[in-house]
Chains A and B, each alone.
Chain A
Amino acid sequence: MTHLTLEQLVQLREPGLEPGVSSLRAHLAECPQCQAEASRLDQRSARLRALPALRPARDHWSALERQFKVERRWRLVRRVSWIGLAAAAGFAVMFAIRAARSPSGPSKQIAIDEAKARSQQLEQLIQSYNPDARVTDGRTVRVAGELEDRIALLDQQLAAASRLDPRGRDAQLLGLWRQRVGLLNALVDVHMTRANAVGY
């Protein structure tokens, strides 16, 4: 007489009726040896379940807590970074529209002077904050770097625009100066908002 293999006994423990299982069940019902083997299988599983739980040798909470706090800070910086970029884009669009409707003649020169003054104020504000001397995470550095690159590009455009024919020059200069103010505002937001958020 051929007894059931362990694989077949394992199969019989599963719910459902697979092809060929009924004949195995019939054998099991009549064979004391296979019944004893099935019983040992069940007992082994029960003993596995009864094994005492292995416990960690050390507490992981403090490490996890640190990880959670770092993750939370990253999320905040990401959010602030996006706000900064969105603000920069918004300012750029706003100033482009304003430039299209810019005043003419002497009033245009006054508007340029105002934008220049505002630009200087913002630069002084950033200098007084002194971001280079502070601990800054990689993402803030990247966003601030992007804004600074765009400001550098604007400075080149301003230099080129100042050499243009006086007729179209003022309108272009005004638009560029206003864009510069917008980007500097965004840069201030990135540095200052982050500083406030993380408690520096």
Chain B
Amino acid sequence: MQGLSIFQSAMTDTYVLADAPALLARARAGDLTAFEQVYRAYEVPVYNLARRICRTVEDAEDVVQETFFEVCRSIHQYRGDGSLWGWVRTITASKALMRLRRNKYRDADEFEDELHRAPRNDSGLRMDLEAALERLPETSRAVVWLHDVEGYTHEEIAGMMGKTVSFSKSQLARAHTRLRRWLGEEPAA
């Protein structure tokens, strides 16, 4: 995309859009090419976040559509106080969590059996971690991703999920307990 460059940090925490003020002004004026630039800049991180939270590819794709549609409709409300990516990311997380609630995925307790069957010595660490993350109950996975990867605080996560801070903390601990077991990282007895 001409005139557009994106810097992405290792933590996928900072996506800086070149010449963002001018681009936003065009987007606010209804210029669809400006929206396309915003879309091109953030489509991967938005999809990645949605996919990490949602159970299926289809749900994640729906979240991508809903997020960018919301960005287009609400662009006038973005005042530039924080980063544009921070704003887009919060919309994505909210949409994904909303979908999670709507779909009423399987209860976390149903995973107990799977948990005990989980392999302990998989080879290929990255694949292990991907598989283990994918295997977490939806709520735990959402919390661990939002907290450890996206950098949200427990207060922010609790606010987005409509739960308490204690709930967010306990879900994070549960997620790490399971990941530790599935990755074979438990301390020797």
Q: Hey, which bits of chain A sit against chain B, CB under 8 A?
A: 5-7, 10-11, 14, 33, 36-37, 40-41, 44-45, 47-51, 53-58, 60-61, 63-65, 67-69, 71-72
CB proximity of B182 to chain A, nearest CB, Å: 11
Residue of B nearest to A40 (CB): B185
Chain B positions within 8 Å of A50 at CB level: 10
- In the complex, whether B61 has a CB less than 8 A from a CB of chain A is yes
CB proximity of B153 to chain A, nearest CB, Å: 8
Select the stretch in B87-95, B96-104, B113-121, B126-134 that faces chain A.
B126-134
CB proximity of B183 to chain A, nearest CB, Å: 7
Secondary structure class of chain B's binding surface, majority of residues:
helix
- In the complex, whether B122 has a CB less than 8 A from a CB of chain A is no
CB proximity of A182 to chain B, nearest CB, Å: 33
Are B44 and A68 in contact, CB atoms less than 8 angstroms apart? no
Chain B positions within 8 Å of A51 at CB level: 126, 129-130, 133, 149
Chain B positions within 8 Å of A41 at CB level: 176
Known: A7-B173, A56-B47. A67 touches B65 (CB 8 A): yes
- Distance in angstroms between the alpha carbons of A141 and B169 in the assembled complex: 53
Known: A61-B36, A65-B32. A49 touches B144 (CB 8 A): no
Residue of B nearest to A45 (CB): B148
Q: Hey, which bits of chain B sit against chain A, CB under 8 A?
A: 10-12, 30, 32, 35-36, 39-40, 43-45, 47-48, 51-52, 57, 60-61, 64-65, 68-69, 72-73, 125-126, 129-130, 133, 144-145, 148-149, 154, 169-170, 172-173, 176-177, 179-180, 183, 185, 187
Are A47 and B144 in contact, CB atoms less than 8 angstroms apart? no
List 17 additional A-B contacts (Cβ < 8 Å) besides A10-B176, A51-B149, A54-B51.
A11-B169, A11-B173, A37-B187, A41-B176, A44-B176, A44-B180, A44-B185, A48-B133, A49-B10, A49-B148, A55-B48, A56-B44, A56-B60, A60-B39, A67-B65, A68-B32, A71-B69
Secondary structure class of chain A's binding surface, majority of residues:
helix
Q: Which of B11, B47, B65 contacts A55 (CB under 8 A)?
A: B47
CB proximity of A94 to chain B, nearest CB, Å: 34
Are B61 and A56 in contact, CB atoms less than 8 angstroms apart? yes
